[in-house]
Structure 1
Amino acid sequence: MSANFVIELPRLTESAIGHALHLVEMLRSANLLAGLRHGRHGPRFGWRWVDGQGRDMGKHMPHGAEGAAVAGPVRALFLSSLQCPDIPAIREIVAANKPLVQRTAAAFDQGLQVCTLGSAAWFAAGSGRCQGLSVALPWFYMGGFSLDFSEIALAPGRPLVHDGHWLSASHLEALLPMALALTRMALGDDLAAALGAVLQPDPLRERAAQAASRDLQLPATRASTLAHAIAWLEAHTEQPYDLRVLADAASVSPRTLLRHFQQELGHSPLDHLHGLRCARARVLLEITLESIPSIALACGYADPAAFRRIFVRHTGMTPSDYRERHRLRSPRRRWRVDAGEHGARKA
């Protein structure tokens, strides 16, 4: 297991602090998942709030004490975007904060991961350490940036670029991919996948989670034949597949229903049902300690071998391998011991 991963967060008067706080909240989520999976002894993210001179500001910032409590050397530097009206203002801010430019250069020289959001790319570029690298920028900064740093390649259409020790994000929406990339570096691929599953919208997973917790009822009205059929499948995922029954629920013939699925979705109703069942199985494998045969039965498969074969086809791994890679909780024995040590209720 790797050591803790500490990120330095410089704050300037012009910094978009909310963006940095958004990153911190995602790092806190990663820490929560790491604790659920590995217990309190596993690696964590830490963070250090500093001013433009590198002086500690943790006590003045949200969750500053929490981040400072995670021991370890700084392994990354995150520079938030700047709140300023135009490119000349960006240049003025960078010129007025030479210590931060020097800190950024030192971070590159030390092999730290330098992360920039939007206009903060000027600090990285101004360090003189980014020649030949690529950067993600909002379109409205590209012209001015190219004039200032012609030796750095722009990456149009790419919200996140990881080139060497520079991880650049163009817009706020790219902070989640940046957090996932940092989690992959710090805590491993499995925790990054778990964090992505928690933070990224996934309609299929959401429906599967809802179906796993309660019986769904078929909505009274839906817009189309295909929608009626899909809603019926979602509400009866665990029931044996019967094309005639499904077609009756959608008020069409089996042949017409097959045509609708093939034309609109490119697969059959049975393939769609397998996808829904595997989505439900993924959720159950992640959040419960039920046996795989029990999960197979709950998802409509009386034969665990058939469930395993179909699950491999849809996910690329066996149910047991999926559980090992994506589970959000520690094994029951360790979970209960840890909870008991803290006087908490048993899971």
Structure 2
Amino acid sequence: MNEPFTPTAIHRTALRPLSLPMPPLPHCHIDIPLLPQTALGHALHLVECLRSANLLARLRSGPAAPGIRWRFCDARGEPLAADSLGPFIAPLAHEGAFTGPATALLLAPLHCPDIPAVRAATQAHTALVRRIGIAVDQGQQVISVSNGAWLAAASARLDGRRVALPWYYVAGFVRDFPGIEPAPAQSLVQDGPWLSADVATGSIGIALALTRQAMGPETAEALSAAAVADPARSHAAHSAAGQIPNTRDSTLARAIAHLEKTLEQPYCLADVALAAAVSPRTLLRHFREALGHSPLDHLHGLRCARARVLLEITLESIPSIAQACGYSDPAAFRRVFARHAGMAPGAYRERHTLRAPRQRWRVDATPQP
């Protein structure tokens, strides 16, 4: 079984879409085929990422915010009855349900032990492969994760495109589909109608791309802040709560720990040097040589990191946040923040906030539409 995979049983045309990025979507309705070989957990992980995007959109813009919908279906495209999916998946199916045509088709990873098994699964689902070709012809987006790319490529509509693939599939994929170019060292690739992720953990990247298309860059950035690991933001959030322990014993570590502990207090170089057990001149030299800036510059960075967190997750006023970050003068805070963040605090909050405007919050819970 070392011959190249040729989908001779599958309808082919010479149609090749232009290599252009996908335009913004007026809405995003995704069909998710469930095959016997589908790695169901990975498909559900993407659904959970999309649920998070919808939740953030509602928090930011209220119940009328645009959302992403999904629908589980069989290989022929027939929707699967939610109640047939079991008590744990049925609620997800009900939540994402939509009627009418889809705008995208998600090809989840196939749970296969090797490349021959992936080929066999692809050959066993010619109905789905035909449907993928029709979807491309109709302007729908095709989304593949890991070896789900085999199903997309077999449609014969994506020759000349680039695809993200795990390294261990590249040799076999190129042999089967020499007209499609794997993108080296790229975990997520958008080439015209084809959005691909190399590994199953790329679900968050796909969710971010779909959120950006369907809801705009601000909601996508909010989802990234909430779902993508960010050590700097996590450190700032803990620091704001006074929970950062001193885990290192060096001049810089002692100085930075002191700056974090006294972040909201007036800056005094002599006090920082005393905490680090060196002279002020020596402390300045350590910072310049190791970090390329002064202790005061570092303090401004720490304060602005805390300010970002507070702007994102609270409704406190700019003067209150300035005070919590060690600036008694709100104007000075605005200047420093703009220098570090590239925009004023109010503009940053508007773009990155995870909270809805104050008037949308209620003291007691209200049913969500």
TM-score (norm 2): 0.87
Larger mean Cα displacement after TM superposition, 256-265 or 178-187:
256-265
How many equivalent residue pairs?
A: 339
Report the 3-state secondary structure (helix = DSSP H, G, I; strand = E; otherwise coil) of the residue aligned with 1:168: strand
| Amino acid of the structure 2 residue aligned with 1:19 | H
- Who is 1:67 aligned against? 96
TM-score (norm 1): 0.92
- Who is 1:256 aligned against? 282
Contact 1:136 1:154 in 2 (8 A): yes
Q: Which aligned pairs between 1:12-161 and structure 2 lie closer than 5 A?
A: 12-57=35-80, 58-59=82-83, 60=85, 62=89, 63-68=92-97, 73-161=101-189
Contact 2:109 2:200 in 1 (8 A): no
Larger mean Cα displacement after TM superposition, 83-92 or 55-64:
55-64
- Who is 2:254 aligned against? 228
Larger mean Cα displacement after TM superposition, 266-275 or 32-41:
266-275
- Who is 1:239 aligned against? 265
Label 1:55 to 1:72 Cα distance change in 2 as closer, same or farther (>3 A).
Answer: closer
| Amino acid of the structure 1 residue aligned with 2:128 | L
| Amino acid of the structure 2 residue aligned with 1:239 | Q
| Amino acid of the structure 2 residue aligned with 1:210 | H
Gaps of 5+ in 1: none
| Amino acid of the structure 2 residue aligned with 1:5 | C
Instruction: Give the Cα separation in 1 of the matches to 2:144 and 2:367.
Output: 42
- Who is 1:215 aligned against? 242
For residues 67-86 of structure 1, give each alpha carbon's deviation from its aligned partner in whole angstroms, at most 9, with x where no partner exists.
11x56642211111111122
- Who is 2:351 aligned against? 325
For residues 209-240 of structure 1, give each alpha carbon's deviation from its aligned partner in whole angstroms, at most 9, with x where no partner exists.
2233x334753x52322122222211111111
- Note if 1:342 corresponds to 2:369: no
Instruction: Give the Cα separation in 2 of the matches to 1:71 and 1:305.
Output: 52
Label 1:280 to 1:72 Cα distance change in 2 as closer, same or farther (>3 A).
Answer: farther
Relative contact order, higher structure (CA 8 A, sep 6+)? 2
| Amino acid of the structure 2 residue aligned with 1:215 | G
Higher helix share: 1
Instruction: Give the Cα separation in 2 of the matches to 1:96 and 1:328.
Output: 45
Instruction: Give the Cα separation in 2 of the matches to 1:136 and 1:144.
Output: 14
Label 1:87 to 1:264 Cα distance change in 2 as closer, same or farther (>3 A).
Answer: same
Gaps of 5+ in 2: 1-23
- Who is 1:197 aligned against? 225
Following TM superposition, by how much is the alpha carbon of 1:5 offset from its aligned partner in structure 2, in angstroms? 1.8
- Who is 1:179 aligned against? 207
Report the 3-state secondary structure (helix = DSSP H, G, I; strand = E; otherwise coil) of the residue aligned with 2:65: coil
| Amino acid of the structure 1 residue aligned with 2:331 | A
Report the 3-state secondary structure (helix = DSSP H, G, I; strand = E; otherwise coil) of the residue aligned with 1:8: strand
